[in-house]
Chain A
Amino acid sequence: MNRSDAIAPSISASGLVHGYGKGAARTPVLHQLSLQFWPGELSLMMGASGSGKSTLLAVLSGLLRPESGSVNLLDTPIWNLTERELERFRFQHCGYVFQNFNLFPALTATEQVALPLHFAGVRETQARQRAEAALDEVGLSGRMGLRPAQLSGGEKQRVAIARALIGSPKVLFADEPTSALDSANSEIVIALLQKIAKTHGATVITVTHDPRLTGHAERIIRLQDGMVIEDSRPNGTDGAALSLAAGTAATGTQHSTGNHP
């Protein structure tokens, strides 16, 4: 909120309400949730299991229509779009990274990364070049010809990140991208996501359980029972955030309830 006067948020959600089930069986998950996100930042979304992190991410990323509330993604009220328009919007602006990598077993790393371009109708040679550049960026130049069965977990997730990057998305959503990885690989992956936020000026939202990752985030949001109980900036003096925020963001935590040091 205190940053909004300085630079426009890339994601702005307000009054999000969602629950699963109907009538008496309904489990409320999101309670009147409002949040904003800014480009160039990696925001970590944390909270206990079942607190609604994945649900929130799905709503923010245009995959799950909330019962009420609105999401403005890059100034587009995405939940006013038709299904078809929303698909096109996601194709143009959004990247996704999931816990299970979700790579086609039959494709080499280069082919995995080039596939979204293939679906976009980009020519083969150009797609290949761009895929190789993306793999290079995630540090996998030496693994381009390998299939998922020949890659380590960390490498697979980096391939998945390269695939998410290939369309130059403005926003990148990651749900537990490191939970299948050991700590060293988790470290690599989260650092990579943070670097992407910086170098691409992308808005990166990552859901995680892992407290060790907090050092790589500009911002930490904690959820409990579908409500934000903490929204803090551990490295309040972060350069990128500072410059983007034109000074106002340096105050750090807001809404902090003190549950976490």
Chain B
Amino acid sequence: MSLARATLLYEWRRFLPGLLSVAFAGVLMLVQLGLLLGMFGTVTVLVDRSGANLWVTSPETESFDQSRDIPANLGALLRLHPEVTRSETMLVHDADWRSGDGTRVAVSLVGLQPAADALACPQPMRDALCARLAEPSTVVVDRGEADKLHAVIGRLAEVNGHRVRVVGLSKGLRSIGNTYVFASAQTARELSEPSATGEDLTTFVLAKTRDGTPEGARDDLQSLLRRPAYRVWTAREFSMNSQQWWLTESGVGAGFLFSSLLGLIIGTVITSQTLRGVILSTLREYATFRAIGVPAAKLSAVVLEQSLWIGVLGAVLTVIVSILANALAQALYVPLVLTWWAVLTAVLIGLFTAMISGLLALRELYRLEPAELLR
């Protein structure tokens, strides 16, 4: 028998608001973070889905969507490194899309090697679509963007005023920032506005190392390319940095922090009020035990055990609801990313919230004057 558990079970209705608010704060945090990660994850979809593990960008680049053009012949330099087995280029330029019926959309034209095993070829396009781009003046767009672009397989459209033909629809290559139109490097160069200098430029230079640990090669190449000139990333780094940049610099991250914090504060207030209410309703009983000489600390342990239970049950509820929300998001094609570390963090924060609430509610116990039972 434990007083804490007996009371929780017997008066569970009293504890429910606290439990629900802990769970709610957790779910709010997880779903928001999941949506953010899902959204920002799409920014780097071409990095994450490519076969390259080294990326070279212009020096000021912090995020995938920011890189400026760099010389294409850097690839030759990369290949000099013994670890590097292959290198390629990827061109990403802003362009103007005009569908057959006149719909105009600002797009990002992506130029890559038209081969199934190309490093730049995103994984969902490997089985067929990349190779199909070898035919001049053909493009592939994502299924998810087809409606917006009025793109239909086999139909004609215009990119920067040049005629192209849609030869396929990819799947899962949508991004929040950009609408990608994939073409071969050759086609993309022809469709792009020509460079002023006539130098052979590209947006990214990609490479693949012999084994899965590109860090050594990155360090070597970085010192070779001296940082103000170019920046060498591992694919993982580049992806993380891009997402982090969106999270911190776009203001969306701050919004997330703010609303999560608000959720936590509200959760803490409601939970501590709940616990306080329970304490107040049994204040005479607690005072009786103070009179008997039970130290306030031992009575506090009862309240803290209750807080812990609220935290644990709230966390369990958080996890269950988040899993359901995740399933719902999948069904509705909402990009929601639920990672184990986010869930773990939410659970720990939930426990922490509950314990803080318990500590706040303890004031009532320490204020008790058992002499007031005698009146």
Contacts and interface: CB of A to CB of B under 8 A. Distances in A.
Given A63-B374, A104-B7, A106-B9, A91 B288 contact: no
A150 B10 CA distance: 14
A98 B7 CA distance: 22
- Is the contact region of chain B dominated by helix, strand, or loop, or is it mixed? helix
Contact of B284 (A88, A102, A167): A102
B285 interface: yes
Interface in A102-156: 102-107, 111, 114-116, 118-119, 124, 147
B282 A119 contact: no
Given A91-B294, A106-B3, A54 B375 contact: yes
A217 B25 CA distance: 60
A91 B292 contact: yes
Interface in B137-187: none
A175 B288 CA distance: 12
A58 B291 CA distance: 10
A107 B3 contact: yes
Contacts of B10: 105-106, 147
Contacts, number: 87
A162 to B, nearest CB: 13
Contacts of A111: 1, 3, 6
A58 B292 contact: no
A87 interface: yes
A38 interface: no
Interface string B283-306: 011011101111100100000000
A102 B285 contact: yes
Interface string B1-38: 10100110111000000000000000000000000000
Contacts of A104: 3, 6-7, 282, 285
A195 interface: no
A207 B374 CA distance: 10
Contacts of A63: 291, 370-371, 373-374
A102 B292 contact: no
B285 to A, nearest CB: 5
Contacts of B1: 107, 111, 114, 118, 124
Interface residues on B, range: 20 to 34
B285 A103 contact: yes
Contacts of A118: 1, 3
B292 A90 contact: yes
Contacts of A84: 295
A106 B11 contact: yes
A192 interface: no
Given A63-B374, A167-B292, A106 B298 contact: no
A32 to B, nearest CB: 21
Contacts of B298: 119
B294 A119 contact: yes
Contacts of B289: 115-116, 119
A227 to B, nearest CB: 19
10 contacts: A87-B293, A100-B284, A102-B285, A102-B288, A105-B7, A105-B11, A106-B11, A107-B3, A118-B3, A175-B374
Interface of A: 54-55, 57-58, 61, 63-64, 84, 86-92, 94-96, 98, 100, 102-107, 111, 114-116, 118-119, 124, 147, 167, 175, 207
Interface of B: 1, 3, 6-7, 9-11, 282, 284-285, 287-289, 291-295, 298, 370-371, 373-375
Given A87-B295, A111-B6, 15 more contacts: A87-B294, A90-B291, A90-B292, A91-B292, A95-B292, A98-B373, A102-B285, A102-B287, A104-B282, A105-B282, A106-B11, A107-B1, A107-B6, A118-B3, A167-B292
